[in-house]
């Protein structure tokens, strides 16, 4: 890998982490015991923050997955089991992130359109998908190997 590509890979790791952490900080959750009308008001009031936070989450996850792929390549582990597990874990984390983003956008759009049933369901699915992020350590273990 050329020095230029190493720098780009390193920047992916740095900016990916910054984007992902920023998305978690800026994307507020609705009140725990929200009513249906409060959910709609929350979605309308925080629309730009939710959409931008979702974008940051998707980009951050993708940049971190690219960083992990670069590490596997730099280590010469593309044909080793640990390398394949790292690639699989990175793809899994990216897909979980994209699913969560889909539910963020679905919740905002449904609430703004007055479709409170789909807004409520999307909000519940966001919370469920967030528990799947516990898979993240699975990416770090094979990278260490």
Residue that has been written with the tokens 């690639």 in this structure: 87
The reported pLDDT for the residue numbered 137 is: 66
**pLDDT the model gives residue 145:** 62
| Gap between the Cα atoms of 96 and 78, Å rounded | 23
What pLDDT, in 10s, does the model give residues 6-31? 899 999 999 999 998 998 888 777 76
Token duo for residue 45 = 């009031």
Q: Which long-range contacts (CB under 8 A, 24 or more apart) does 121-128 make?
A: 123/30, 123/39, 126/100
Residue 44: how many CA atoms within 13 Å on its side-chain side? Answer: 12
Which residues lie below 8 Å from residue 44, measured CB to CB, with a gap of 6+?
111, 112
Comparison of pLDDT for 96 and 134, the residue scoring more: 96
Percent of the chain with pLDDT over 90: 26
pLDDT, residue 8, reads 92
Tell me if 133 sits within 8 A of 96, measured CB to CB: yes
- How many Å apart are CA 132 and CA 35, to the nearest integer? 26
Quick check: pTM over 0.85? no
DSSP state of 134: G
pLDDT higher than threshold 70 for residue 66: yes
Among candidate residues 88, 52, 53, the one with its CA nearest the CA of residue 69: 88
What pLDDT does 143 receive? 64
Q: Quick: pLDDT tens for 76-115.
A: 888 888 888 888 888 888 898 999 999 999 988 988 888 8
């Amino acid at each position: 890998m050329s020095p230029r590509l190493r720098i780009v890979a390193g920047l992916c790791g740095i900016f990916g982490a910054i984007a992902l952490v920023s998305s978690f900080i800026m994307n507020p959750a609705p009140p725990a015991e929200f009513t249906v009308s409060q959910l709609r008001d929350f979605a309308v009031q925080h629309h730009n923050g939710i959409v931008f936070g979702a974008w940051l989450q998707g980009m951050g996850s993708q940049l971190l997955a690219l960083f992990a792929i670069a590490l596997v390549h730099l280590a010469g582990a593309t044909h080793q089991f640990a390398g394949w597990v790292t690639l699989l874990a990175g793809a899994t984390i990216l897909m979980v992130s994209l699913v969560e983003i889909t539910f963020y956008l679905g919740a905002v759009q449904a609430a703004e359109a007055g479709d409170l049933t789909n807004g409520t369901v999307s909000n519940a699915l966001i919370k469920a998908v967030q528990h799947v992020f516990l898979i993240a350590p699975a990416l770090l273990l094979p990278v260490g190997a």
